[in-house]
Structure formats: C-alpha cells, structure tokens
Amino acid sequence: MQSKEQNKTDSQEEKQNWTKMYVLVMAVLAIQIVLYYWFTNTFS
Amino acid sequence: MNATSIHTLDWVVLFGTLIFIVAYGVWKTRGKQDMEGYLRGGNDSKWWVIGLSIMATQASAITFLSTPGQAFNDGMRFVQFYFGLPIAMIIISIFFLPLYYKAKVYTAYEYLESRFDMKTRMLAAFIFLIQRGLAAGITIYAPSIILSTLLGWPLQATTIVIGVLVIIYTVSGGTKAVTQTQKQQMAVMMGGMIIAGILVITSLPEGVGFKDALNVAGKMGKLNVVNFEFDLTDRYNFWSGVTGAVFLFLSYFGTDQSQVQRYLSGKTLKESRMGLMMNGLLKVPMQFIILFIGAMVFVFYQYNQPPVFFNETVRQEILQSEEYAEEFRGYEIAYEDVFTEKRQLVDELNSAIDQDNETAVLVAQKELNRLEAEGLSIKENAKSLIEEADLESNDKDYVFMRFVMSTMPVGIVGLLFAVIFSAAMSSTSSELNALGSTTTIDFYKRRIKQDGDDEHYLKSSKMFTLGWGVIAIIFASTLSLFENLIQAVNLIGSLFYPIVLGIFVVAFFFKSIRSNAVFISAIISQIIVILVHYLNVQGTAGIFTMGFLWYNAFGCILVVLIGWLLNRLIK
C-alpha cells in the first residue's frame, strides 16, 4: 500500500518535472522569437 | 574555382574525415549482433546521442548547400518555418513516444496493427517505403550534382562514393552504427559551420565592423527573420510556422520511421524524451546560424564583386559557346557596373548610419534596393540565357561553396566539403536503416516468413538495407535523366505524409474510431488531397487554394473527420 502511494507520488513528481521541461522549451522558443523580432526591427 | 584550386591538404582533410567516420562506425559495431541491437541499437543510447542523431538525420547536404543561398537571395525569413518544431517535439514526447514504448515496437507502423488491423499497418508502411525510398535517392543525388561540379568529379562517381560509404557501415552495424557515426558527423557539421561563421565575418574588408555588416544586411532586407503579418499565400511567416509547419514536423518526426527509429534506440523513455527536447531547443538556433552565414556572405559580396552566376563550371561552358558567349559577357559587364555603383552607396549608407542622419539613410537604402533589383534582373536574364543554352541554371546552391572555395584558407575548404558529405551520409544512413527495418518487420516477417529465427531476420535486415542502398544509388544515378523528379518526390511527400499522420492521430486521440472507418477514411482523404492539389495546379481550387505546407494540416484533419463520420455509419 505504502509502495503504491510512493509510486503515485513519484509519477506525479515526474509529470511535474516534464511539464516544467515543456514550459522551458516553449519559453526558450518565445525568447528567441522576441530576440529575432528585435533583431529584424533594429537592423531593417 | 574548380577542382584544381583544391589543395592537397583539403583532399587529406576531406577523405581523412570520411574514412575515419566509416571505419569508426564499422569498428564500434563489430562482433556478435542480434535483431534487437541491429534495429534498435541495443536500446542503450543516451539522450544527447539521440538528440544528435535526430538532428543529423534531418540535416541533409542540401541544408548546408541551399540554406545559406536561401538567405543570400531571400533573407533569413526561412527560420520561421522551424518555429513549429519545438511544439511538435513536445506533442510527440507527450502522446506518441509513451505509446511506442508501451507497445515495444521496432517500427512505428507495428503500433497501427495493435490499434487497428494489419491492412492499416500495411498501408502506412507501404506509403513510407515509397516516399522514403524515392527520397533516399534524392538525398544522394541532390548534393552529388553540386559536389561533382565543384570537385570536378563525374556525377555518377560522386553518387557512388556517397552511397557506398553509407552502405558499408549502415549494413554492417545497423541502427547502432548509424547513431555512433552521427555523433562524429554532427561534430564535423557543427564545428565546420561555426568556423565558417567566424571566417565569413573576418573576411569582411578592413574598417567594416560587425555592426556595419548587420546594418548593410538589414537595410537590404536580408535580416527579415520574423514577420507577424497573417498571409496564407506567404510560405514563411510566424503563423505558418506555428500552425502548418507543426503538422509537417509531427508527420516527419512522429510517424516517419527514419526518425522514429532514432529515438526508439533510447535507454529509457526519459532518455528518448530528452533527445527530442534537445532537438526542440537546438534546431531553431542552428537554422538561424546557417541562415545568418548566408546573410553575411551577402554582405561580403557587397564589398567584393560577385559573379553574375555562381556555378563556375556552367559559366566557363557558356563563355566557350559561340552562340551565347557575347550576350553572357554583356550581362557580366552590366552586373559589374551595378556592383561599382552599389559599392559606393554601401559606404554612404554606413556613414549616414554613423552620423544618425535618417534622411540620408533612407535615400541610400532606397537607391541600394533599386540597384539590387536591377542586379537581380540582370541575373535573371543571364539565367534565362543559360537555360536557353540547355545548361543547369541552379545558382542558389553554389553561392556558399563558391564563397568557401574562393576565400577560405587551405584545410578549411576540405573541412567544409566534409560537412556537406557528412550531412549527405548522416541522412542517407538513417533512411536506409529505416527502409531495411520496415521491409523486414512490417512485410517480410509479418507476411512472408513468420517462423524464422533471430539470426535469419538479422541477415534479412542486412540484405534489405543493402538492397535499398543499391536502389537509392541506381535511382540517384538515373535522376539526371528526369530533372523534374526532384520536384515530383517533394510533392509525393506533401501528398502522402498528411494521410499517415491522420491515421496516427486517430490511433492516439480517437479511441472510438475503428479500423475499417480509418482505413476507408485514409483512402478517401488521399483521393481528396490529390484532387485538391490538381485543382491548385490548375488554379481552380477556389476556397481550397493553398500552398504545399497546408496539405499536411488539411489531409490530417480530413482523415479524422471522415473517419469519425464513417465510424458512425459503419457498424
């Protein structure tokens, strides 16, 4: 019973970690787009 | 610029790199093998190896030959096409990957049998074999035609060199050899491009700083990286990148065995996911850097006289022709005159920017862009003449390597040729590996011989991989007879990919839709996509007027909608 609970907590934690990873990937993309937009406007 | 201008050291660097990679691939995978190891690389790949392998598979020689030329001509807006890639990586990581792992499949199409039935699996696997089989020939042929011109080799010899080198390690070591060699190939590609980037900037004339170069490129429309204007007819803008391109990347990375096989070699689900995330993080900046190099090559040619036509071999041929030489020489002189005028204006533009004189900047910019258009028109005339003389009029793909061969130091030229060969080999090896696996697992083992042992299927996989390699070389060698095939193969990809993606989307997200419904829906959708394409070519598609990129979204949604409707009708 305790092990089941433990597994559930682990998988919950893993899910949260992956969600953080996906947010990070999207944030990096968003930052790049902002920088590229700045780059386009600054030098054009 | 021809083979004689290539120094002995460059040949040593080029062949040394290629032979080292092939030998490393064969040596790393020597000894006893089994099917698991041959098709899934023994499932021991780390995340960064998977990430590099995914990137190396996608990076073909044309990526390095064409992309800088694309920025040179059209600016950097092509990078927006890749904005959809990280989104697709996340979707595949959440939905596709766990199901492939759970089903313990060798190929993506195997999963379709457990979800639907054998005929749906066969349909998807068959579409893959046709599409990827033709593409493997193109992956060898397209760089061969350019490399043979630059190196002065016969076209067929170049095709055979690339094909045979790939076959040696892909057949002998399977997925593991592909993955191991892709590490070295990616190192060569990334190292080569970083060195090229630095050397392009340092090759600008004295007194022209990095900021000046950015100003010239920007004011002449080459740093147009992001455009938020919504326009369905514009192939590359922010919106097409984050919508249409997502479907294309989902199809390619999620359902094409040449990519699926890369991340199925992961040690664990976590390692495979991390590999996908690595691709999602690095691909956009990588494309940005390659395009930026092209933009800097453009700046270089604002200070140094560019040729009116970058393929030197064709230029020499036309200059020797009695019929066309005089007219072509006329275009060259006119192009030189335009350059002289532009050269002066570039200096005026930079000093106006330094003095913050906005009016003078606008005047210089307007005049520069007028001269640029004039130069382009001369170039187009020269190209038309080349076409009339029945010679190859492709100019864009020669821009970067012509620049490399005329300006880069000895040794680096060889390294950059090694980059192009490595890219051609890395994508071809993944393709042959996936074609061999799909033929063995989805057809031979499933339909022809079900009672073979592990060793039998291992041998069969090697034979099928070899067979596909030979087909790819033969196809690449005869392609020159059918120039339009390149276009045809790209078209086949755009027409068939969306249907396979649609089948997988139904499999993953619409659990109630059954096999007959999805199978019939796939066939009906395929007919509709082909019909819509036909109407687009005729210019009579009405509300269905769309570019190639949108076929992916359109076809995929069709499969789902028709499948859902049929599912309600078919008991």
Q: What is the ipTM of this complex?
A: 0.89
Q: B393, B422, B447: which is the final residue of a domain?
A: B393
Check CB contact under 8 Å for B226 and A37: yes
Q: Are residues B209 and B330 in the same domain?
A: no
Give the CATH number for residue B462.
1.20.1730.10
Q: Are residues B244 and B389 in the same domain?
A: no
Assess if residue B307 is contained within a domain: no
Assess if residue B386 is contained within a domain: yes
Q: Are residues B155 and B277 in the same domain?
A: yes
Burial B19-30 (b: 16+ CB within 10 A, else e): eebbebbbebbe
Distance (Å, whole) CA B212 – CA B202: 13
Q: B393, B422, B453: which is the final residue of a domain?
A: B393
Please tell me the total count of domains within chain B.
2
B124 and B500 in contact (C-beta within 8 Å)? yes
Identity of the amino acid at B338: V
Taking the Cβ of residue A39 and every Cβ of chain B, the question of whether any pair is shorter than 8 Å is answered with: yes
Q: Are residues B191 and B220 in the same domain?
A: yes
**Test mutation, A32, A34, A38, chain B, max B CBs within 10 A:** A32
Q: At what angle do helices B8-28 and B412-438 cross, to 10 degrees?
A: 30
pLDDT, one tens digit for every residue, chain B (571 residues) = 444 468 999 999 999 999 999 999 999 888 878 888 899 888 889 999 999 999 999 998 888 888 999 999 999 999 999 999 999 999 999 999 999 999 999 999 999 999 999 999 999 999 999 889 988 988 888 888 888 888 888 888 999 999 999 999 999 999 999 999 999 999 999 999 999 999 999 999 888 899 999 999 999 999 999 999 887 777 788 998 999 889 989 999 999 999 999 999 999 999 999 999 999 999 999 999 999 999 999 999 999 999 999 988 899 999 999 999 999 999 999 999 999 999 999 999 999 999 999 999 999 999 999 999 999 999 999 999 999 998 888 888 889 989 999 899 999 999 999 999 999 999 999 999 999 999 999 999 999 999 889 999 999 999 999 999 999 999 888 776 555 555 666 677 778 889 999 999 999 999 999 999 999 999 999 999 999 999 988 888 788 888 777 888 999 999 999 999 999 998 6
Q: Which of helix, strand or coil describes residue B45?
A: strand
| B373 exposure class (CB count in 10 Å sphere: 0-12, 13-18, 19+) | exposed
Taking the Cβ of residue B334 and every Cβ of chain A, the question of whether any pair is shorter than 8 Å is answered with: no
Q: Are residues B350 and B433 in the same domain?
A: no
Q: B393, B423, B456: which is the final residue of a domain?
A: B393
**Test mutation, B226, B227, B277, B279, chain A, max A CBs within 10 A:** B226
Distance (Å, whole) CA B372 – CA B338: 8
Q: Are residues B209 and B321 in the same domain?
A: no
- Taking CA–CA distances from A43, the nearest residue in chain B reads B218
Assess if residue B40 is contained within a domain: no
Distance (Å, whole) CA B562 – CA B196: 50
Assess if residue B34 is contained within a domain: no
Q: Are residues B463 and B340 in the same domain?
A: no
Q: Are residues B297 and B353 in the same domain?
A: no
Domain membership of residue B415 as a residue range: 3-29+45-301+406-569
Taking the Cβ of residue B349 and every Cβ of chain A, the question of whether any pair is shorter than 8 Å is answered with: no
Residues of B in contact with A28 (CB under 8 A): 86, 281
Assess if residue B138 is contained within a domain: yes
Residues of A in contact with B281 (CB under 8 A): 25, 28
Check CB contact under 8 Å for A44 and B219: yes
